[in-house]
Amino acid sequence: MTEESITSKNLSRRQFVGTFAAGAAVLGAAAGAKGFIPSVSGAPVTTPSKAIAARASEAQPTPVPSNWSQTADVVVVGYGGAGAIAAITAFDLGANVLILEKTPSYASLGVQNPAISGGGGSTSMNGGHLDYPVDPTLGATYLYQTSWGATPMATCQAWASVASQIPAWLTQMGIKFTTSAGGAGFPAVAGASTINSGSIAGGGFAFFTALDGAVKSRNIPVKFNTPATSLIQNPTTKEILGVQALAYGSEMMNIRANRGVVLCTGSIEFNEQLKVNYFRSYPAHFQGWAFSTGDGLVMAESVGAGIWHNDCVAATMVPWFPAYAQSFGMSAPAQHGWIYVDKYGNRFMNEPTLNRTNTYLNLSDFNLSVPEYTRIPSFIIFDETCRKAGAISSGSSGSLPAYFDSRPTWSSDNSVEISNGWILKAQDIPTLAATINSTTFVSLPPGTNNTALPGEITVSMSATNLANTVNTYNGYCTAKVDSQFGRTASSLVPIVTPPFYAMALWPGGEAAFAGPIRNGQGQVCDPKYEPIPRLYSAGELGSIRGSVLDTVSHNGELIVFGQISGHNAATENPWTDRKSVV
């Protein structure tokens, strides 16, 4: 089935509204009830499509073992927000569930009285933001438009139907939140009027703490320190029969999944080989879960999955330093003098409108005559008044053990970072340009195996050009009109008080979304959009976001597809009921 044929099989408005109404009426199984979950049809398993067979022959999955180490109805791979919700939903439908998590438990790390048992993924590090549509029909339209058609309308409709129930689901789960009308990032796009924003009380860590508590209260087992290494696939039907995993670095386990496997491993934020192949702007550095290394993508591709949304990221410009895996956040003080410039000393945007998810698109400007990216790295330029006004970046929140996040908290006056050499300092703007030019900027993490791309970048910024840029900007501040980029009058504060400062900024930020193709039933699909039997995904891995980032917030998507995939995996007929499976 092609993408076009999927799109042509959209629900009619009557069917769609009926699905929505059923969801509003039924919120059993932690909002995972059949009423509004797009279900997998009960068609018998047949021979695989040619596309699946061809891809599977390129990278073979693990052969079907004669003995199994452990058995569950549903195996969830990855214990972040998506994995927790998939497990809760499947369990509440009567399935025996096992969660595999690659990282160690908090107890094994010696954490005293931990708030959570372990895991957490990017959910535990985000700010708790979510978006959802009030009207499912308009919400589906908005997602489809902002995905530029890269996500089939049927999948957009499935998301919108369940996403409209997010407030009811949070209430059912006892999770506190607030909502407000409006919130669409692109208000001129069709359907934008239906998008509401929300915030989970206490942010992402509090959200995952609640989910972890729900998992523990159900006695759903979590095998920590047990990364999945490959999927076990029936060579004839191409059904996924289980998972091979390495427990504690020594014990290889074959784990049978009687009904299905749900991949919730995160995307590729910390896999340099995949990022350089997929991203238009690279190097790129992220501040989320450092264990999102593309495991699920590689496993899914080995059993025939198609890969999509490779260059879809929630990214802006961020500070990054090779001593730490994660990048830092960006929070330049408001109402003080600062600008962004490229490697040549030129402004290139209205700085206060920096978008936390889409500025990445502005960083792919490329000078073919060199060749080089003109904005990798970019620089924030500011003065002493701005330096004293507050931290221009943010580090660790301190909520996670150092094993998961070793970044320090950013100093309130940026003095520590100046001492570290992260922020460059000079008494005048021309000297600042010379200081930038004499600095070598490490661009890749230690150990990156890429000899074609320099791991260190030097800049040749014209001192005259940077001085002219700052002087021109200061002129706009005097006139209270930015005729170049339209910065508002209230934000036009001059850069005049020495010393002056610069800090390198890289593409990066919150998350990436490359992964296997996912349909509206949560099934992982091959390049022709045919489902791979018994394989599901949820969360950032193969997100349904297709182009510009808006509306489908991380938390909103994992709530939706955690339910959809957990529900449909749990309601599969066990493959063990058949006399012959191979």
The pLDDT assigned to 352 comes to 86
How is residue 191 written in tokens?
A: 């359907």
Task: Look at 119 and 279; give whichever has higher pLDDT.
Answer: 119
The mean pLDDT value for 242-254 works out to 96
* Phi–psi pair at 166, nearest 5 degrees: -55, -45
- Tokens 């009830």 sit on residue: 33
How is residue 542 written in tokens?
A: 């193969």
55 has a pLDDT exceeding 60: no
Radius of gyration of the chain (CA): 25
The pLDDT assigned to 312 comes to 83
478 has a pLDDT exceeding 90: yes
Interacting residues of 224 by C-beta distance below 8 A, sequence separation 6+: 79, 101, 103, 104, 105, 108, 117, 118, 119
22 burial (CB, 10 Å; 0-12 / 13-18 / 19+) is middle
- Tokens 């976001």 sit on residue: 545
48 has a pLDDT exceeding 70: no
Q: Which of 25-39, 251-265, 543-557 has the highest mean pLDDT?
A: 251-265
Kindly report the number of other CB atoms within 10 A of residue 201's CB atom. 13
Among the ranges given (34-43, 91-100, 115-124, 499-508), the one the predictor scored with the smallest mean pLDDT = 34-43
The pLDDT assigned to 573 comes to 97
The mean pLDDT value for 367-372 works out to 91
Query: Which of 263, 260, 316, 332 lies closest to 501 in space, CA to CA?
Result: 332
When pLDDT is cut at 50, 70 and 90, the band that residue 452 belongs to is: low
Task: Report the percent of the chain where pLDDT is more than 90.
Answer: 71
When pLDDT is cut at 50, 70 and 90, the band that residue 355 belongs to is: low
> What is the average pLDDT value for the chain, to the nearest integer?
87
| String of DSSP letters for 525-554 | E-TTSPEEEEEEE-TTTT-S--SS--SS-H
The mean pLDDT value for 386-408 works out to 89
The pLDDT assigned to 36 comes to 64
The mean pLDDT value for 279-301 works out to 94
- Tokens 């998350």 sit on residue: 511
28 has a pLDDT exceeding 50: no
The mean pLDDT value for 204-233 works out to 98
541 has a pLDDT exceeding 70: yes
- Separation CA 213–CA 206 (nearest Å): 11
- What type of residue is 72? A
When pLDDT is cut at 50, 70 and 90, the band that residue 453 belongs to is: low
Beta strands in 391-498 (DSSP E): 393-394, 424-426, 441-442, 456-457
How is residue 385 written in tokens?
A: 């008044």
When pLDDT is cut at 50, 70 and 90, the band that residue 3 belongs to is: very low
- Tokens 């660790």 sit on residue: 396
* Phi–psi pair at 338, nearest 5 degrees: -165, 150
How many residues in the chain?
582
The pLDDT assigned to 35 comes to 53
Kindly report the number of other CB atoms within 10 A of residue 172's CB atom. 15
When pLDDT is cut at 50, 70 and 90, the band that residue 11 belongs to is: very low
13 has a pLDDT exceeding 80: no
- Separation CA 317–CA 371 (nearest Å): 21
The pLDDT assigned to 57 comes to 36
- Separation CA 200–CA 178 (nearest Å): 7
- Separation CA 62–CA 56 (nearest Å): 11
- Separation CA 250–CA 226 (nearest Å): 10
21 has a pLDDT exceeding 70: no
Regarding pTM above 0.85, the answer is yes
Query: Which of 15, 72, 77, 57 lies closest to 572 in space, CA to CA?
Result: 72
CA angle (184, 190, 193) in 5-degree steps? 45
pLDDT per position as a tens digit, 307-333: 999 888 887 899 999 999 999 988 777
When pLDDT is cut at 50, 70 and 90, the band that residue 578 belongs to is: low
Q: What single DSSP character describes residue 108?
A: G
Reduced to 3 states (helix: H, G, I; strand: E, B; else coil), residue 182 is strand
| β-pair partners for 71 | 256
- Separation CA 441–CA 444 (nearest Å): 9
Query: Which of 560, 563, 566 lies closest to 133 in space, CA to CA?
Result: 560
When pLDDT is cut at 50, 70 and 90, the band that residue 548 belongs to is: low
- What type of residue is 536? Y
When pLDDT is cut at 50, 70 and 90, the band that residue 75 belongs to is: very high
When pLDDT is cut at 50, 70 and 90, the band that residue 511 belongs to is: confident
- Separation CA 229–CA 295 (nearest Å): 8
Largest CA-CA distance found in the chain, in angstroms, rounded: 82
| String of DSSP letters for 246-265 | EETTTEEEEEEEEEEEEE--
- What type of residue is 1? M
- Separation CA 280–CA 276 (nearest Å): 8
| β-pair partners for 99 | 76, 222
Cβ(307)–Cβ(301) under 8 Å? yes
Among the ranges given (65-79, 280-294, 321-335), the one the predictor scored with the smallest mean pLDDT = 321-335
The mean pLDDT value for 158-183 works out to 95
